[in-house]
Every structure is written in C-alpha cells, then in structure tokens.
Structure 1
Amino acid sequence: MHAHHHHNEHPNETASTRIGWAFFLNLAFTVVEFIGGILTNSTAILADAVHDLGDSLSLGMAWLLNKLGQKDATSTFTYGYQRLSLVGALINAVVLITGSVWIMSMAIPRLWEPEMPMAEGMLVMAVVGIAVNGYAAFRLSRGKTLNEKVLNWHLLEDVMGWVAVFMVGVILMFVDWPWLDPLLSIAFTLFILVNVARYLVTTVKLFVQATPDAELYQNISVSLQELPAVQSVHHLHLWSLDGESHVLTAHLVLADDLDAPQRRDLKAKVAEVLAPFSLAHTTIELEAPVEQCRDEHCPPA
C-alpha cells in the first residue's frame, strides 16, 4: 500500500522569485559588508557580514531547492531533491563556524588593545544594512510558505543586528569607547554559534534518519494500533527528508484473515487516521495473522 502526497513538491513561482530577490540582494550586500568592515576597521561589521553570509547561503540553497523541487523524482533521486537541503545546511554550518572562529580571533585581542573604528562609516553601513535587509524581509513577508517565513525571521534578525551596529556607531561619535566594537562582534558571533550548534544537531539527526518527532511517532503508532482489524504493529519507521516532509513505513499484523473488500476498507481507514499527520510518503504492509514477516529482525508471528 503506497500513498504519495506532493503538497510540498511544487512551490509556486512567486515564492521562488521572492527568495531569489532576497538571495541576490543579500549576497551583494554581504560583499559590501566585508569591504566596509575592513575600511571602517570594525569587527562588529565583519561579524555581521559573516552572519549575512550564512543567511545568503541559506537563501541560495532555498532558492535552488525551490527550482529543483519543481522537477520530478528520478530513478536516482526517488524522493525528489528535498534532501539536498540537509547538504546545504551542513555546508552553511561549516562556513559559519569557520567565519566565527576568524572573527573571534580578531575581536578577543581587541578587547585588551581596542582600536577605534570609523564611527561615521559604521553609521552609513548600518543605515544601508537596515534598508537592504528590511527590504528583503518585506519582500519575503508576503510569502505563505514555511520556507519563506523561516528565511524572513533570519532577515529580521539581521535588521536587529544592524540596529545594534547603528547604536554603537552613535555612541562612538560622542564617547571614546573603542572596546564596544569588539564586544558587539563577540556578542554577534556567540549568537551565530549557538544557532549553528542547534541547527547542526538537528541536521545530523535527520542525516542518520532519527525520528524527527518522538511525540508524532507515538501518536501514529497508537492511531494504527487502535484500528479494529489490526492486532499489532511492527517495523514502524518514521524519518524525514528535510525536517518538514516526513516518511512512514509500517507492518500491520491483522487480527483475522481479510478478503479483498475488507482489505480495501482497512486501507481506507489507515489513510483516514494518517491524514492529520500530513506525511509526505507512506508505505504500509498488511500481514495475515499466521504470515511470517519477510524482513529481518521482525518479532515472532
């Protein structure tokens, strides 16, 4: 018994266009940020550039997957291309960790030997940063897909980061506190590392096909066990393609031998109880009461 739901596989073109806009805008500004950080001698701007680089990679991967997602599954990629997002997440994490280590190596020594950044340049970069990230966030805020909503939050975080850079720039215009700049960059970098660590753990769990949600697994198991015609459930496997699209396989041992109409009726009931869980792919095998399970490590019949 196979069910294939494709609700997430054909995102509309407007979502792709919005993500594409945000990606190219963010990438171009990230280059400007790195140059601006060097010219203004500001580690805070460089730290935000690393943050923006991570968001650019996320946006780029989302945009690419949006395009690839419109292609049909192949004999090589039988589930389609959604799982490539995990590869993108790993690449993103490596880039961000490397960038964060680089920023820390510059910022920490500056706490003891602070160098005064160019406050006027910081203000200019902050205003441009708020405008660019704010516009990109505005474009994505029109989107309805989960992907767009997550990316929109990333861009709003960037806006808040630039507000912090702006405030430090204003303070440095009036007082000689050069240590504020490395302090802000360290705060940015720690924020990045905490988020990266969280996403890295989630990504690795998905890579090794851990259950994406223990409660969801339990609810599905109970729902299938409660079907009147089902005696027991085994080989229940729940894993995720990308954290959103989940895959389920299960063996249902029947309480009695069923004829063809009864089996069709049971399949309809299985589809009904699984519908609320919005699974992307399901494969259910029905086993007669005395039938030997053909897979390895099955419980005794």
Structure 2
Amino acid sequence: MAERSAGPGLCTGADHPEWHDDGRGHGEGHGHQHGHDHRLAADADRRYLSAALVLLSAFMVGEIVAAVLAGSLALLADAGHMLADVGALAGALWALHLAARPASGPWTYGWKRAEILSAAVNGITLLVVAGIVTVEAVRRLAAPPHVEGGPVLVVALVGCAVNIAASWLLARANRTSLNVEGAYQHVLTDLYGFLGTAAAAVVILLTGWTRADSVASLVVVVLMAYAGGRLLRDSGRILLERAPDDVDLEELRRHLLEVPHVHEVHDLHVWTVTSDLPTLSAHLTVDDSCFLDGHAPQLLDEVQACLQGHFDVAHSTFQLEPATHAEHEPGMH
C-alpha cells in the first residue's frame, strides 16, 4: 500500500510520477510514493486477531453453558454478543487475507475493500444482536424469571478478564484499519457488557431484584447499537466514495491553483479505496506553452510534490489539458 510520509506544510520532494501524452495536447500523470512495506503490519494484525479469536471462542462455550444453568439473560446476551465477536474476528481475518491479494485482471485495486465490507457486516451484526436482545429483555422485564446471582457474577468477572486481554491484543493491532477497528469495537462493547452483568449480579445477590439482569442486558444493547451505528456510518462513507473527513476539497483546489501555470482545476474527485488509502483524480487546465516547450512533465512533478506535502493522498492521477480543450469537457465541476 502506498502512503504519503511528508508532513503538513511541506511542498518539496516530488515522487517521480509518470506522464503520458496522447498526441492531442493531453497529459495524464499518475504518481504514488512507495513507503515502508505494510505486509509486516498485516502479519502482526493477523497474529493479534488470531490470538483474540482463540481466547474468545474458548470462553464463549463456557459462558453459554453457565447462562443456561443460571437462567441469566444478561449472560446469554453477552454470549450472543460473544458469538458476534467470534464471527467478527473470523471475518476480519478473512478480510485481511483477501486484502493482501495483489491487483490482477479486472480487480485493479485488488480485494482491499474486503476490509470495508467486513466492517459493514460487523456493524450490521451488532445491530441485529441488539434488536434480538432488546425484545427478550423487555419480555423478561414484564415477567422476570429466577436468576442465580452467584454463577452470573463469577462468569461476568471471568468475562471481564478475558475481554480485557482480547481488547489489549486488538489495541496493539493497526486500528486505523476500519476492519480491525470493527473487531475491536465488538470486543470492547462486550467488555462493557460484562461489567454491567457483574453489577447486575451484585444487585441480585444483595437485594434479590432479578430485573437487574434485564436492565443490564439493555445497557449492552445501547452499547452495541452505538458501536454498530458508527461502523455502518464509517464503512458506508467509504463504499459511497465520500471524500475523507480530513481532506478539505476547497483547500486542496486552492493549493493546486497556486502551482505556476495551473489556471483551473475541475473534475476533482477524492475518495477512499480502503482504510489509509485515499485516492485523488483531477483535470488541470494549464498554459498551452507547457505542451510546446516540454514543461508538462516538470509541471506534473510540481503538482504531485505540492499534493504530497499538504495532503495525505496515497494515489493521485492528473490529466493536464490546454485551455482550448474546455469545450470538450461537458459537465465540468
């Protein structure tokens, strides 16, 4: 994955883009800077996710047994969320595998957006589980069953320890990846859920108020809905190719217009292929003389260097055009 390493405010250091002339006065440039190899980071992410997956899977089986024996909806809700966690981690691992595939044939970006699809699925899963638990929690609030507070407390405390360990593992992975962040949010909300379950168990042991179990379940629901909504929002923005939040399009346009010989910027598009891979394309209207004196490649270097210095854009493509080409550009924006 290509990346920009220059800090904000710098406007030096072009990355040697290619330039092609089609014989009609057009120039297209595509540049990207090859930074450090991200394969090592991806391998580390896989190790962290795999370790967390094994840890949570083992605990989930024990929790389901304890929930059935204790008659606790809060534990069963946590077990359902834990199942979602296990599925999220497995999906995240599979998405990392797909994203590592090189671009080939019609897959010009490879399978990098598999990570974004995984994050979207994680968000949907959280919302679905939240809906199921809400229905059962409301039913149990109306007719609360008997709940054994002791076993619930023990399992909840063990669950807290397990989820703290899993959260620590995932926090060490690359959380700028929406895929990894989705798995992390699953585990983190489960940790909050276990804390609520432990509190409900203490209330049951001290007061005998069994509705505390259902109330704790609803707290888990709120946390799941919040995390799921955020994941769907962020993944949806990428899938709909919205410009990244940290890219000001007007400021970007202004910087490009400050480059000598550039008179107009149109058909400007900025989107994100996957986490940490913002991409840009634009048409630049430049002096006709740039195509006559051989200055176009140098101008493209200057544009790429300015873009690299001010904006964190991994891939960029520019088409250089003379002013006389404007009449061939319908729907410019």
> Shared topology, TM-score over 0.5?
yes
Pair 1:219 & 2:251 matched:
yes
Structure 2 CA distance for aligned equivalents of residues 159 and 45 of structure 1: 12
What are the equivalent positions in structure 2 for 1:186-205 lying under 5 Å apart? 186-205=218-237
The TM-score normalised by the length of structure 1 is 0.87
Candidates 31, 42, 50, aligned match of 1:3: 31
Q: Does the 8 A contact of 1:212 with 1:239 survive in 2?
A: yes
Per-residue CA deviation, residues 19-45 of structure 1 (Å, 9 max, x unaligned), is 221123224433443443333222222
Q: 2:268 aligns with which of 236, 240, 245?
A: 236
Query: 1:3 is matched by which residue type in structure 2?
Result: G
Q: Which runs of 4+ in 1 moved over 6 A?
A: none
Maintained 8 Å contact 2:75/2:152: yes
**Deviation string for 1:160-219 (max 9, x for gaps)?**
322222222122222111111101101211221132223223323322222232743333
The more displaced of 185-194 and 48-57 is 48-57
Q: Where do 1:120-139 residues align within 5 Å? A: 120-139=150-169
- 1:93 aligns to 2:123 (yes or no): yes
Match of 1:278 in 2: 312
Q: Deviations over 1:248-296 (max 9, x none)?
A: 1110111343046522222222222222422232111111121247565
Q: Which amino acid aligns with 1:63?
A: L
Task: Name whichever of 35-44 and 244-253 sits farther off.
Answer: 35-44
Unmatched 5+ residue regions in structure 2? 1-28
Match of 1:264 among 297, 309, 315: 297
Counterpart CA distance in 2 for 1:142 and 1:135 is: 11
Q: Which residue of 2 aligns with 1:43?
A: 73
CA contact (8 A) 2:56 2:82 kept: yes
Matches for 1:148-163 after TM superposition, within 5 Å? 151-152=183-184, 154-163=186-195
Cα distance in 1 between the residues matched to 2:68 and 2:329: 61
Identify the residue that residue 168 of structure 1 maps to in structure 2.
Answer: 200
Mean CA deviation greater in 249-258 or 216-225: 216-225
| Mapped partners of 2:225, 2:38: distance in 1 | 31
* Paired position in structure 2 for 1:290: 324
Query: Cα–Cα, structure 1 residues 249 and 291, in superposed 2: closer, same or farther, change >3 Å?
Result: same
Give the conservation status (yes or no) of the 8 Å contact 2:84–2:186.
Answer: no
Tell me, in whole angstroms, the C-alpha distance in 1 between the residues paired with 2:328 and 2:87.
Answer: 44
Distance 2:264 2:230 in 1: 36
Over the matched positions of the two proteins, sequence identity in percent amounts to 27
| Structure 1: 5+ residue stretches without partners | none
Q: Is the 8 A contact 1:133 1:158 kept in 2?
A: yes
Matched, 1:82 2:112: yes
SS at match of 2:225: helix
| AA partner of residue 180 (structure 1) | A
Partner of 2:11: none
**Which of 41, 56, 60 is residue 30 of structure 1 equivalent to?**
60
Cα shift readout 1:39-98 (whole Å, capped 9, x = no counterpart): 322222222233333333332233223333332111132112221123223322333332
Indicate the residue corresponding to 1:254 in structure 2: 286
Q: Is the Cα contact below 8 Å between 2:59 and 2:162 reproduced in 1?
A: yes
CA RMSD of aligned residues (A): 2.6
Q: Is the 8 A contact 2:189 2:220 kept in 1?
A: no
SS in 1 for 2:166: helix
Alpha-carbon separation, structure 2, partners of 1:287 and 1:121: 73
